[in-house]
Amino acid sequence: MDIGEIMTTDVVTCSPDETLAQVAQKMQRENIGLCPVIDQDNLIGVITDRDITTRAVAKGFDPNSKHVHDFMTPSPITGDPAMSLEEACRLMANNQIRRLPVLEDNKLVGMVALADLSIDLEEDELLAETLMKISEPSR
């Protein structure tokens, strides 16, 4: 099975010029923890709820005046729809990421989350190893 079969295709995105408050409200409304940042139809980064709280709010920045481009993670790790679940697990584990944007012809076509893999992955050992590596302290 490949990730194209399990990815979420209705992905909520944001622009680099949105304020952190706008994106946080979007995340709350959509019940998501990561938002791909799109500029002129290209994925240029991702921003997470954790980025907003730890990189901005916790340091005293005003989320109503600061923008996504200042706090996003640029050039995120990505997969493609033909990638196998096992490849996606290894990529996510090696890079300690819980969500993987999926690109086709350099355009965002979906998102795969660790939870998606846990539902669809038949190999419990691989899933456990992936979760363990993602959860290790940062390098």
Quote the CA–CA distance of 90 and 96 in Å, as a whole number.
Answer: 10
The pTM assigned to this predicted structure is: 0.85
What's the pLDDT at 114?
Answer: 84
pLDDT value, residue 10: 95
| Kind and range of the H or E run holding 107 | strand 107-113
Average pLDDT of adjacent 10-residue blocks, the chain of 139 residues: 93 98 98 96 96 96 97 97 92 93 95 79 57 58
Domain boundaries, the chain: 3-135
The number of CA neighbours under 13 Å toward the Cβ of 38 is: 16
DSSP 67: B
Q: Which CATH class is domain 3-135?
A: alpha beta
pLDDT attached to residue 70: 97
Q: Distance between CA atoms of 3 and 87, rounded to whole angstroms?
A: 9
**Predicted local distance difference test score (pLDDT) of residue 126:** 57
> DSSP assignment, residue 55?
I
Burial tier of 136 (Cβ tally within 10 Å: 0-12, 13-18, 19+): exposed
